[in-house]
Amino acid sequence: MPINKEQLEVRDKVKNHKPTFKRPESWRYKRLDTTWRKPKGIDSHQRKQKSRGRPGLVKIGYGGPKIARGLHPSGYTDNLVYNLQDLEKLNPKTDGVRIAHGVGTKKRTQIIVKAIENKFKIFNARVSPSGSKS
């Protein structure tokens, strides 16, 4: 049961009306991936919006709703945590925890133990809370 369900529904509704943005000429060359890259060529038809068959450009108007920005698909807000002090500033009912990449195993296990005690939603635990290495 996700929290902020209404906000996630609004985001999904807006997302359905958004076009799929494709990298220019990716349909033409196998070596080009379809992930979005801004067209920068001086004669680029897609950049100039010359022909109707081309996919649209990424523009600021296609952004998601402000109320749903920064939400994890579970409905919790996504917060990066580096230490235990960062964890104390958060509310377990609305905030989820993502432990920073640079945090070592020792501090990571401390953060996980504290987060489980306070019933936080952890997005990337990666280490068992016992801290034992097998």
Q: Is 105 inside any structural domain?
A: yes
Query: 26 phi and psi, to 5 degrees?
Result: -70, -25
Per-residue confidence (pLDDT) for residue 129, from 0 to 100: 56
* pLDDT over 60 (residue 58): yes
What is the arithmetic mean of pLDDT over 76-80?
94
- Work out how many domains the chain is built from and give that number: 2
Q: Is residue 134 part of a domain?
A: no
Q: Does residue 3 surpass a pLDDT of 70?
A: yes
pLDDT of residue 132: 53
Owning domain of residue 56: 19-62
Looking at the domain assignment, is residue 23 inside a domain?
Answer: yes
Do 57 and 83 lie in one domain? The reply is: no
Q: Are 58 and 82 within one domain?
A: no
Both tokens of residue 70? 């920064």
Percent with pLDDT over 70 in the chain = 93
Within a domain: 3: no
The residue-averaged pLDDT of 55-69 equals: 90
| Domain presence at residue 2 | no
Nearest CA among 31, 50, 30 for reference residue 39: 50
Establish if 32 belongs to a structural domain: yes
